[in-house]
Structure 1
Amino acid sequence: MTALLTEDRDGVRTLTLNRPDAFNSLTVELKEALLAALVAAAADDAVRAVVLTGAGKAFCAGQDLKEHMALLAANDPAPLSTVEAHYNPIVTAITALPKPIIAAVNGMAAGAGASFAYACDLRIAADSAKFLMAFANVGLTADSGASWTLPRLIGYGRAMEMMLLAKPVSAEEALRVGMVTQVVPAAEVLPVAHALAARMAAGPTTAYAKIKEAMLASAGGSLADGLAVEGRTQAEAGRTADHREAVDAFVAKREPGFTGR
């Protein structure tokens, strides 16, 4: 079975974690495939938006602990280096992707799986989905960027509560506190996420990339840093064909036709 499925439609590349019998838990094979797929999507001009989802009933249960334990028992160094080798590059690839990426959270998202969803730009969740920061339950600390992304979504206090108590958060609660963008019935998660991604795939791709760049820089920087990045990225976006098209369309009172350039 292929650990990661890829589908292209309407300018949207859908990446599906495909280990449903193991709740899409993350093996070395799946982590390497996901990282390679994100890098490829970033470089492909035909891909103007990305959806990340899971096969079956779960989005992603996080690290595959069976593989993890087997490697530890064999004194393999891989488990101790997977954050640096896999999780950090994956989260960097998600946040730096120069096009929108939407998490279609079709079920449980735990550990690194939840962290991947937090790193995405938008999150569409099934009404049956749950989010769980389970690191403390296995004697570990946060990884995959969750200590940075989660407090920025829901605040320091709530994020600390999730980390320390490892208490699942329902989709309804996740929506209330701002963890997710929208909650829909489980059967509608992927269609809704794809429709949103397709709408954005028809939009000004370079502008989206510059918005992401400015937001990411400002999230961890000073006002002066944020203003500097805004100034540079605004000038870069202003030189695009999409900006000229949008202004022409506004003056002519017609809908713009964006090409992503």
Structure 2
Amino acid sequence: MRHAPDFDQYSKRYPHAAMQRDENGVLELTLHTDGESLVWTQEVHDELPYLFTDIAGDRENSVLLLTGAGDAWCDDLDFTTFQVTTAESWDNILYEGTRLLTTLLAITVPVVAAINGPVRFHSELPIMSDVVVASETAVFSDRGHFAKGVVPGDGAHVVWTHVLGPNRGRYYLLMGQELNADEAKAAGAVAEVLPPAEVLPRAREIARYLAAKPFLTRRYARDVLTREYRRLLADGVGTGLALQGLATQASWDH
């Protein structure tokens, strides 16, 4: 007997996730910190892979709509929460960091991102969605890695060089480049740019359109359209995180 995740249970399980699902099976997931814009912490880093796994296992979900609370998708990071001083703690980062992106791609229904504002930390996550709608106030950057002396090896190196192209992706990660919403759209990272008040309604409209497609069409379309991403992540994230940890430890030793 198959034991699928129970929405009534997992929708209340995660402190940084508010969820609601409509009659069409569209699951609207709002990431937040105490009801405000998401602050990236080790708890969030460890929580999301389990959340994505539950969502992936629930076949009642027809589409995932991913958004953020407040005026930013994720524009702050609390580095003090990351306890990475031993091999064992780095192993946890390696384990959860690898699963963070792979479990997102394991969701076998279309994913729509409604980017409500700046996302300067883990900007690769919403960008991996199948359809990306962004507010005019959105700003994309990668402030959590090379800018802070950290190797961008946790999947940002895979996603951004894939989305922007090898040369522009490397420049984005190494130079701390910020892309506004229009620049991100011109670069191919964003599909639509709208005034802030129109972003979520438009994302909901797109989600309903996708949800109306046949069950297997939706699921198999997601499968074929993310195969290259999954191959790239399988090849690059584990090694990237290991090198990130080694370089960080070396910098602390000196």
**TM-score of the two chains, using structure 1 as the length reference:** 0.74
Does 2:202 correspond to 1:201? Answer: no
Q: Which amino acid aligns with 1:12?
A: V
**8 Å CA contact retained: 1:130, 1:168:** yes
Q: Displacement, 1:24?
A: 1.0
Query: Structure 1's 130 and 20: CA in aligned 2 closer, same or farther, altered over 3 A?
Result: farther
Unaligned runs of 5+ in 1: 222-261
Q: Which amino acid aligns with 2:64?
A: V
Residue of structure 2 equivalent to 1:132 = 141
* % identity of equivalent residues: 24
**TM-score of the two chains, using structure 2 as the length reference:** 0.76
Q: Displacement, 1:216?
A: 3.3
Residue of structure 1 equivalent to 2:41 = 27
Equivalent residue runs for 1:4-19 within 5 Å = 4-9=17-22, 10-19=24-33
Which residue among 118, 138, 141 is the counterpart of 2:127?
A: 118
Q: Displacement, 1:219?
A: 5.8
Q: State the number of aligned residues.
A: 216
Q: Displacement, 1:220?
A: 7.8
1:7 alignment partner, SS class: strand
**8 Å CA contact retained: 2:117, 2:135:** yes
Q: Which has the larger radius of gyration?
A: 1
**8 Å CA contact retained: 1:96, 1:212:** no
Q: Displacement, 1:60?
A: 1.5
Residue of structure 1 equivalent to 2:115 = 105
Query: Structure 1's 204 and 187: CA in aligned 2 closer, same or farther, altered over 3 A?
Result: same
- Distance in 2 (CA, whole Å) between partners of 1:86 and 1:174 is 28
- Distance in 2 (CA, whole Å) between partners of 1:104 and 1:187 is 11
Query: Structure 1's 38 and 91: CA in aligned 2 closer, same or farther, altered over 3 A?
Result: same
Q: Displacement, 1:87?
A: 2.7
**8 Å CA contact retained: 1:125, 1:182:** yes
Which residue among 55, 59, 62 is the counterpart of 2:69?
A: 55
Which residue among 160, 166, 170 is the counterpart of 2:180?
A: 170
Unaligned runs of 5+ in 2: 1-13, 232-254
- Distance in 2 (CA, whole Å) between partners of 1:82 and 1:108 is 28
Q: Which amino acid aligns with 1:124?
A: V
Higher helix share: 1
**8 Å CA contact retained: 2:135, 2:194:** yes
Does 2:54 correspond to 1:40? Answer: yes
Does 2:95 correspond to 1:85? Answer: yes
Residue of structure 2 equivalent to 1:228 = none
Q: Which has the higher contact order (CA 8 A, sep 6+)?
A: 2
Runs of 4+ off more than 3 Å: 20-23, 75-79, 215-221
**8 Å CA contact retained: 2:16, 2:34:** no
**8 Å CA contact retained: 2:36, 2:70:** no
